[in-house]
Structure formats: structure tokens, C-alpha cells
Amino acid sequence: MAQATVTVLGNEPIATIRPEIYSHFAEHLGRCIYDGMWVGPESPIPNIDGWRTDIVEALRKIKPPVLRWPGGCYADDYHWRNGIGPAEDRPKTINLWWGKVIDDNAVGTHEFIRLCELIGAKPYLCGNMGSATPQEMREWLEYCNYPGDSTLAETRAENGSSEPFDVEYWGVGNENWGCGGNMTPDEYAAKYRQYSTFMHDMSDTKLFLIACGPNGNNPDWTRRFMDNLSSVWHHPRVNGFAAHYYCGTAGTATEYDEAQWYQLVKRATVIEDLIIQQRAVLDGYDPKREIGLIIDEWGTWHPVEEGAPDYGLYQQNTMRDAIVAALSLNTFNRHADKVVMTNIAQIVNVLQAMILTQGAKMLLTPTYHVYAMYTGHQGAKSLRALVDSPMAGCATKAEPGDIELVSASASIKGERLLVTLANLSATEAVDVKLSSVSLGEFNKATATMLGTGDIHAYNSFENPESVKPACTKATTDGDNWVVTMPAGSVCSVILER
């Protein structure tokens, strides 16, 4: 049995963990929206205003702070006016990026805002800078947020909402280095300056404008974008700067050997390099640290499941995905002083999903359970957690190198200390000793474990509860608490006085 120690330093607070770090992403892609979350009000599947009741209820439990929509690449060609007014009058449009399927625009702005209300999330609208004008983006903002009696606000009222939607988060473009227009950083910066100039606060709701960051950890994109912005006398508003990082796959979603386990886990840990380097570059331009770092697309990307269309990006979700989620969330918590939002891709039926559906059936993925176990971090104060652990995967000569066996993060809210752990080993169980400095004694521990040592475990429609969190024992020697983690498992420990 491997041994590791995690020491939580009460005298080294990092920052409050913004709940937004636990945010999500929904795109008109494959079966995420249609035949996923949205079944329409007339469906025999129980729904609230067209949104599946079982999904709404499950999502509420993980407290999604923000939901990004309508893409992704889909946003780069989305024209919001197609999605308002009576459903039967809405045009049928082609989903250019995802299979060229027809979108009848049954889900538009009002429906999306309703979903956000139902699940308790704030909306994040990603504006089209790829194939639309600054006028179109600015008018969407007015339609959503203006409380007065402009024609657009009146149209919103005629369409069912006299109250403004007060949308705070606006993406000024998406992947403009790719599907959002294949721009250079300088071209994007020039467009960002232009589009953002017209994105004004329309009410008391202060806008949070999000610029498109790099594809992975590309410091050149960031430097050139920031240089270009600094070259004009009126520096445009950038509240968030959003990188995308997919760690990809090794093997398939459900079939991988030990070496492939480590390959993918290692690639997931590299997200910390991205954060460290990107925040360092941003600090050079923004010494007061007013720009938040965002990762509004991240996660695994496996080959699609056999029989499913390529464009739909439907994949299973195993304990390996749970490990990727857990170690990534631990990383975000540790950088809570810079990372202000992250949105795992995507919420239902696409890539590293929380929920999978098949007809009227629905299952919760191992990744969903990680989010459930981590909800206590939202709004808590992140504390430095030192990990003393052996390396994992050395024996397999895994590419591209070795990783520490235990990933950890810790936060405190009131008298409750939450420590979340992932055992990254494919084969070894580990005893993790939890100690603390400057936090006094904790005399009660509640530990929850996800994973029993089967690193390939997943939930299927035949066995939807193969993987689910279970209570586990934490023992104490009077000073420290110890939990025993099976190979490839995730654990949350709540310590109380």
C-alpha cells in the first residue's frame, strides 16, 4: 500500500473559490440540446416547459453556477433572431459545424434563459463574431438586458418576458483562432476592440466581457492579443480571458491499458502549466490582476461511441474521466486567485458529460459524481495543500513522464474543511494522511469515495449505478485523519470541529 500525506496550511489562504469555477457548457451539437436536455413541451417524457424534469432535478443538485450557450463553434454562426418569437415561425437553419443537421430553432434565447432559471445557473451567452456584425451582438445584448421601452425590449416583452434577462456574461467570440474566423491574434484583437466598443451596460447589470484566449497553452496568442489592445488609447474592457484545453484521449472512452491511463492523466495534469504560464503572461499586462483567467472549454475528447455519428461527439464516461475531472478541479481550486470560471465540455451527451440519455432513460456519469462531491468548494476559501506522495506510473514508462500519485485541494467555509483527493494510480491503493497547520483540531470526519479500484468502471443504461459515491471510513490517530483510496478513485473528506 502506498503512503501519502496531504498537509493543509490554514495560514496560507489562496482566495475564495468562485462558484463559477464549477460551471458548464451546452452547445447545439449532437444530442446535447435536442434529444438530450430539450424534448419539447409536448413530449411524453416528463418536462418543464420542454426541458427534461429528470435532468433539471439532477443538475440542480450539483449547483451549476453558470451555463455557457449556444456554442462553441455553433455560436460562431448563430443568429439570435432565428430563435425568438412563436416556435412555428422560426426558420430552419443548418448547423454548419456539427453534421449540417437542420436546427428548427425550437430552443432560442427565451428557452435557454428558462433552463438557467430551472437549474439555478447564470446564463453566459457566447456572441457570434465569426459570421455576424457588431450590430447583431450589441442588439442581442439590448434585447436581453434593456429594461426600458426600446423596440427590442418591447419585442422581448411581446415574446413573453417584460423583465430583462440581466445577462452578465458575454463571450465576444469563440475560438476565433479556428471555427470563429481563423484569425491571427492581431486580427482578433482588432475585431475584439470593435465589437466590445458597442457592448455597453444596459442596466444595473455590469457586463462581464470574455475574450477568446488561446488554443491550449499558447503564450504567443495571449501576448499578441494584449499587445494589440494596449496599442490604442482607450483600452477595451476585458473582464475574462478564456483559453480552451482538451486533454484528448488515449485508447478509447472505455478501452485503455495502463500506459494509456497514464498518458491521458498526465495530459490532464498539464492544464496546470497552462494556468501558470497564461497567468504569468497576463500579469505582465495586467499587474493589478483585474482580468480573470477562464477555461470555458475543457475535458476529455474520446473517439465517438460505435454507431453514433462522428459529428455528435457522444462518448462514454469512466473512472478515468472522473479522475481527469477531479484533478482538474483540484488544480482550479489551487489557482482560485486567478481562475474565475471554467466550463467543462459539455453538460449532456457530448464529450465529458455529466449526464447521458437514451430515449426516456438517463444516467449520471462518474464525472457528475465528482462535481457533486466538490460542491462544498463553491464559495469557500481555498487553502494551500502540500502533497507528499510517491510518483504514479513509473513502472509503465508512461509517456510523457511521471506524475504524483495523489492530487489534492482544500478549502474552508466556516468551521468545515473540505479536502478533495484523487488517486491517480491505475494499480495501487494509497493511504492518505490528512494533517493541518494553524487550523486547530478536527474531531469529526465524513468521507465519501468514488471508485472501488476498477479503473474501467462506468455507468451504462443497463447498469446505471455501477459507479456512485459511497461513504467510507476515515480513521484518526488523534492528530491526523487517514483515508484508504483504491486505485483510480476520488475522495472528499469533510473535517469538522
Q: Does 318 bind ligand AHR (CB under 6 A)?
A: no
Query: CB of residue 174 vs ligand AHR: minimum separation in angstroms?
Result: 5
CA neighbor of 373 nearest in space, from 427, 334, 330, 423 = 330
CA distance 392 to 414: 34
Q: Which one, 328 or 333, has the nearer CB to ligand AHR?
A: 328
Q: Which one, 128 or 420, has the nearer CB to ligand AHR?
A: 128
Identify the burial level of 84 via C-beta atoms within 10 angstroms of its C-beta, where 0-12 means exposed, 13-18 middle and 19 or more buried: buried
Q: Does 218 bind ligand AHR (CB under 6 A)?
A: no
Q: Which one, 225 or 245, has the nearer CB to ligand AHR?
A: 245
Give the per-residue contact string, 331-370, with ligand AHR (x = CB under 6 A; - = no). Answer: --------------xx----x-------------------
Q: Does 20 bind ligand AHR (CB under 6 A)?
A: no
Q: Does 73 bind ligand AHR (CB under 6 A)?
A: yes
CA distance 64 to 58: 10
* Residue nearest ligand AHR by beta-carbon distance: 72
**In degrees rounded to 5, what are phi and psi of residue 440?**
75, -165
DSSP class of residue 81? Answer: G
Query: CB of residue 128 vs ligand AHR: minimum separation in angstroms?
Result: 13
Residue 117: active-site member: no
Q: Are 17 and 339 in contact (CB under 8 A)?
A: no
Q: Which one, 317 or 411, has the nearer CB to ligand AHR?
A: 317
Identify the burial level of 381 via C-beta atoms within 10 angstroms of its C-beta, where 0-12 means exposed, 13-18 middle and 19 or more buried: middle
- In angstroms, the Cα distances linking 311 to 107, 244, 248, 307 are 20, 19, 16, 12
Query: CB of residue 276 vs ligand AHR: minimum separation in angstroms?
Result: 23
In this chain, which of 77, 136, 297, 321 binds ligand AHR, going by CB under 6 A?
297
Query: CB of residue 313 vs ligand AHR: minimum separation in angstroms?
Result: 6
Give the per-residue contact string, 32-71, with ligand AHR (x = CB under 6 A; - = no). Answer: ---------------------------------------x
Q: Does 111 bind ligand AHR (CB under 6 A)?
A: no
142, 272, 297, 428: which one is catalytic?
Answer: 297
Identify the burial level of 87 via C-beta atoms within 10 angstroms of its C-beta, where 0-12 means exposed, 13-18 middle and 19 or more buried: middle
Q: Does 72 bind ligand AHR (CB under 6 A)?
A: yes
**Beta pairing, strands 474-476 & 416-423:** unpaired
CA distance 342 to 271: 12
Q: Which one, 27 or 428, has the nearer CB to ligand AHR?
A: 27
End-to-end CA distance of the chain: 29
Q: Does 439 bind ligand AHR (CB under 6 A)?
A: no
Q: Which one, 20 or 27, has the nearer CB to ligand AHR?
A: 27
Q: Does 242 bind ligand AHR (CB under 6 A)?
A: no
CA distance 224 to 322: 35
Q: Total number of residues binding ligand AHR (CB under 6 A)? A: 10
82 CB contacts (<8 Å, ≥6 apart)?
Answer: 90, 91, 93, 105, 108
Q: Which one, 73 or 132, has the nearer CB to ligand AHR?
A: 73
Query: CB of residue 456 vs ligand AHR: minimum separation in angstroms?
Result: 24
Neighbours of 306 (CB within 10 A): 6
Query: CB of residue 452 vs ligand AHR: minimum separation in angstroms?
Result: 31
Q: Are 132 and 79 in contact (CB under 8 A)?
A: yes
168, 175, 404, 428: which one is catalytic?
Answer: 175
Q: Which one, 51 or 74, has the nearer CB to ligand AHR?
A: 74
Q: Does 139 bind ligand AHR (CB under 6 A)?
A: no
Q: Which one, 139 or 175, has the nearer CB to ligand AHR?
A: 175
Subset of residues 154 to 183 that bind ligand AHR, contact rule: CB under 6 A: 174-175
Query: CB of residue 96 vs ligand AHR: minimum separation in angstroms?
Result: 11
Q: Does 312 bind ligand AHR (CB under 6 A)?
A: no
Subset of residues 381 to 420 that bind ligand AHR, contact rule: CB under 6 A: none
Q: H or E stretch including 444?
A: strand 444-450
Residue 496: active-site member: no
Grouping H, G, I as helix, E, B as strand and the rest as coil, residue 486 is coil
Q: Does 321 bind ligand AHR (CB under 6 A)?
A: no
CA distance 261 to 425: 9
Q: Does 142 bind ligand AHR (CB under 6 A)?
A: no
CA neighbor of 338 nearest in space, from 393, 399, 288 = 288
Q: Does 27 bind ligand AHR (CB under 6 A)?
A: yes
Characterize 224-245 residue by residue with b for buried, 16 or more Cβ atoms within 10 angstroms of its Cβ, and e for exposed.
bbbebbeeeeeebbbbbbbbbb
Q: Give me the active site residues, please.
A: 175, 297
Report the interface residues with ligand AHR, using CB under 6 A.
27, 71-73, 174-175, 297, 345-346, 351
